[in-house]
C-alpha cells in the first residue's frame, strides 16, 4: 500500500498546534501528518533577513526532503493542506510543481492581493509611526487602552507584534498576488472557507475555485478565519474519502 502523507502549513502567527483538531479528526487513519513550524513561528527561529513566499516555499521543500520517509525507493503519496499564509505557500508548491502533490487543500488561503482600503492604510501607519496620535498632549493617559483599541480597529496585531525582519516579511508576502498561478494548479483541489471570514474574504475562495480547474469549494455559514479548526471534522471527512 502506498504511504500517505499530509503536509499541513499553518497561517501567519500560527504554529503546528494550529492543526490539533485536524490531527484528532484523522486519528486512526494511515495518514502520516506533518505539521512543521514555519520560520518565525512556534519553535522555529526567525529568518536572518526578510523573506518572500518563495523563500518559505524553498524552506518547506528542504524540510520535506529531510523527512526519513522521503527516499527515492519509497516516495509517498503526498497531500498538502495550507491555511491562510500556509495556503499561499501551498499554491506556490502546487503551481510550480515543486514537490509531487496528489491533492491540495486550501483553507481560507491567502494569496489574492487587494488594494489597501483606507482603514488598512491607517492601520499600517499607526503600526509604523506608533504613538503619534496618542502622544498628543492630554492623550498620554489613554495610551495603553487607546493603542489597543486602535490596533484592534484596524486589525494589525500581527504587524505590531512582529520584529523588524518579520514586519518586512509580512509586507513582502502580502504584496505578491498569486492569481496568475491559480490556473497552473492541475491537481484536484478542495477549498474550504468561512462565509464570515474578515481576514481573507470569501470572495477569494470563489475566485480560487473559478481559476483552479479541478477544484471544489465548500463555504460554511457562521465561520470566520479558523475554518481549519472549526470545521476540522468536515475537512477530515473530505480527506478520508481519498484513502
C-alpha dihedral, 211 to 215 to 221 to 225, nearest 10°: -70
B/e letters for 80-104, b = 16+ CB within 10 Å, e = fewer, are: bbbbbbbbbbbbbbbbeebbebebb
Q: What is the pLDDT of residue 133?
A: 46
Strand order through the sheet with 189-194: 31-34, 4-9, 77-83, 103-107, 189-194, 215-220
How far apart are alpha carbons 14 and 22 in whole angstroms? 14
DSSP-derived letter for residue 137 is: T
How far is Cα of residue 1 from the mean position of the Cα atoms in its chain? 31
Query: Between these two residues, 46 and 72, which has the higher pLDDT value?
Result: 46
| Domains of the chain, residue spans | 4-113+177-240, 118-161
What letter would DSSP give residue 231?
A: T
What lies within 8 Å, CB to CB, of 137 at 6+ separation is none
What local confidence, expressed as pLDDT, does residue 76 receive? Answer: 72
**Amino acid 152: pLDDT:** 46
Beta strands in the chain (DSSP E): 4-9, 31-34, 77-83, 103-107, 189-194, 215-220
Q: Looking at the predicted structure, is the pLDDT value of residue 120 above 60?
A: no
What residues contact 151, with CB distance under 8 A and at least 6 apart?
Answer: 123, 126, 127, 157, 160
Terminal-to-terminal C-alpha distance of the chain: 11
Of the candidates 188, 208, 39, the one whose C-alpha atom is nearest the C-alpha of residue 111 is: 208
pTM of the shown model: 0.84
pLDDT reported for residue 153:
40
| Sequence-distant (≥ 6) Cβ neighbours of residue 216 within 8 angstroms | 189, 190, 191, 209
Going by pLDDT thresholds of 50, 70 and 90, the confidence category of residue 72 is low
Query: Rounded to an integer, what is the distance from CA 124 to the centroid of its chain?
Result: 20
Cα(228)–Cα(120) distance, rounded to whole angstroms? 25
- The overall average pLDDT reported for the chain is 85
Band the pLDDT of 132: cuts 50, 70, 90: very low
- Confidence (pLDDT) at 69: 58
Q: Which CATH class is domain 4-113+177-240?
A: alpha beta
Q: How confident is the model at residue 151 (pLDDT cuts 50, 70, 90)?
A: very low
Torsion of the alpha carbons at 179, 183, 189 and 195, rounded to the nearest 10: 40
Residue that wins the pLDDT comparison between 96 and 140: 96
Amino acid at each position: 500500500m502506498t504511504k500517505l502523507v499530509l503536509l499541513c502549513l499553518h497561517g501567519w502567527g500560527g504554529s503546528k498546534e494550529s492543526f490539533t483538531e485536524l490531527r484528532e479528526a484523522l486519528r486512526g487513519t494511515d495518514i502520516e501528518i506533518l505539521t512543521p513550524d514555519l520560520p518565525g513561528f512556534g519553535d522555529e527561529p526567525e529568518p536572518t533577513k526578510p523573506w518572500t513566499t518563495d523563500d518559505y516555499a524553498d524552506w518547506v521543500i528542504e524540510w520535506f526532503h529531510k523527512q526519513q520517509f522521503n527516499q527515492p525507493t519509497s516516495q509517498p503519496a503526498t497531500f498538502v493542506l495550507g491555511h491562510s499564509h500556509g495556503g499561499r505557500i501551498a499554491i506556490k508548491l502546487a503551481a510550480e510543481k515543486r514537490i509531487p502533490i496528489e491533492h491540495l487543500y486550501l483553507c481560507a488561503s491567502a494569496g489574492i492581493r487587494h488594494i489597501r482600503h483606507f482603514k488598512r492604510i491607517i492601520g499600517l501607519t499607526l503600526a509604523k509611526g506608533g504613538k503619534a496620535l496618542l502622544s498628543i498632549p492630554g492623550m498620554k493617559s489613554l495610551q495603553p487602552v487607546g493603542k489597543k483599541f486602535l490596533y484592534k480597529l484596524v486589525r494589525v496585531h500581527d504587524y505590531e507584534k512582529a520584529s523588524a525582519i518579520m514586519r518586512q516579511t509580512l509586507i513582502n508576502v502580502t504584496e505578491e498576488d498569486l492569481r496568475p498561478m491559480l490556473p497552473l494548479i492541475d491537481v484536484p483541489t478542495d477549498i474550504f472557507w468561512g462565509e464570515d471570514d474578515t481576514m481573507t474574504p470569501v470572495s477569494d475562495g470563489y475566485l480560487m475555485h473559478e481559476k483552479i480547474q479541478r477544484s471544489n469549494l465548500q463555504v460554511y455559514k457562521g465561520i470566520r478565519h479558523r475554518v481549519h479548526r472549526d470545521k476540522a471534522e468536515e475537512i477530515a471527512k473530505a480527506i478520508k474519502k481519498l484513502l
